[in-house]
Amino acid sequence: MGKFNTNAVLFNLGGASVLVFVAGYMATGVFDSAKVDACSKRFPVGVQYALDGTNGAALSTIEMQARAGMRAWGMLENAKVVQSNDATAPKRLDVKLAPARSNDDEHQNGIGFIWPVASLQGAQSACLSYNIMIPQDLTFSQPVRLPGLTGFDASADAAAQSLMAHIGWSSSGELGVEIRTPTTTDSWLSASKTTVWPRGRWVQVDQELVMNEPGQSNGAVRVWIDGDLRVERLDLNMRPTADMKFTGVVADTGYIRREGDVATVSMTPFVVQWQ
């Protein structure tokens, strides 16, 4: 069961914490992945995207839309917060992978919004965690984007200056990360060994991004599934200058190129940690 305890993560913001750093890099820059704990276990502080609405009830779609700001789609048509007796997800976000109204993209589907986390802007590393359930009968006919970490170059005014690292799956259902940086187009980073997304059960996802030194190819991305490291790249150039900062979570959830199965995926509240 891909479950984590948010009480264990949250949130002694004022207390001192001992940061656990990973050592033992091999000469190639790749280390034994079995010894790298998921970032949610190593990072000291964090915040949660609450799914609580008025008086503790489930957040309404209207409230979600109001939170989302200008960059948002599909919230009213395809998003719903559900309250249940499920121990993993007392409140969960259900996203319908169905067309969304859009004036910009005829293939827009699912939902999309940015969750800004102001405390991330001084961080060198960031960690995003959530649980996700994909329906058992979903066919992996089209690649899908899922929520991931994002950043922005505050010295620029163009969307091209953004960093986005969407977790997702390919048209064959294989786990990977789609990276967009100011200097590259979208590129797909596959799992180190074939990893097809589990269906019909909760899966815990942890994504870690480590900023590179400006202009250097020493940034990192890692993704764990149920605590097992599946994606790891240690040679990324994600920011050309020091003005690129982490800004939050890009919560896009939907098919990338065109619509596939109309299915509903469920997610627990996002937790973001940093150091």
- Tell the burial category of 160 from Cβ atoms under 10 Å away from its Cβ (0-12, 13-18, 19+): exposed
Asked if the model's pLDDT at residue 58 lies above 60, the reply is yes
- When pLDDT is averaged across residues 191-196 and rounded to a whole number, the result is 89
* Residue that the structure tokens 């064959």 belong to: 172
What is the CATH number for 123?
2.60.120.200
Asked if the model's pLDDT at residue 204 lies above 70, the reply is yes
Residue 157 tokens, joined: 């005014």
**Is residue 12 a part of any domain in this protein?**
no
Q: Which residues contact 196 (CB under 8 A, 6 or more apart)?
A: 140, 172, 173, 174, 175
Confidence at residue 191, expressed as pLDDT on a 0 to 100 scale: 93
Alpha-carbon distance 95 to 199, whole Å? Answer: 15
- When pLDDT is averaged across residues 230-249 and rounded to a whole number, the result is 93
Confidence at residue 269, expressed as pLDDT on a 0 to 100 scale: 97
- When pLDDT is averaged across residues 248-255 and rounded to a whole number, the result is 96
Confidence at residue 6, expressed as pLDDT on a 0 to 100 scale: 40
**Is residue 97 a part of any domain in this protein?**
no
**Is residue 27 a part of any domain in this protein?**
no
Alpha-carbon distance 114 to 97, whole Å? Answer: 18
**Is residue 148 a part of any domain in this protein?**
yes
pLDDT in tens, 150-183: 999 877 655 557 899 999 999 999 999 999 988 7
**Is residue 113 a part of any domain in this protein?**
yes
Q: How many residues does the chain have?
A: 275
**Is residue 16 a part of any domain in this protein?**
no
Which stretch, 45-54, 196-205, 238-247, has highest mean pLDDT?
A: 196-205
Asked if the model's pLDDT at residue 68 lies above 60, the reply is yes
**Is residue 242 a part of any domain in this protein?**
yes
pTM above 0.75, yes or no: yes
Confidence at residue 250, expressed as pLDDT on a 0 to 100 scale: 96
Contact 252, 144 (CB under 8 A): no
Domain span at 252: 32-48+109-274
Confidence at residue 105, expressed as pLDDT on a 0 to 100 scale: 67
pLDDT in tens, 98-125: 999 866 666 789 999 999 999 998 999 9
pLDDT in tens, 137-146: 999 989 999 9
Number of domains the chain is built from: 1
Confidence at residue 33, expressed as pLDDT on a 0 to 100 scale: 44
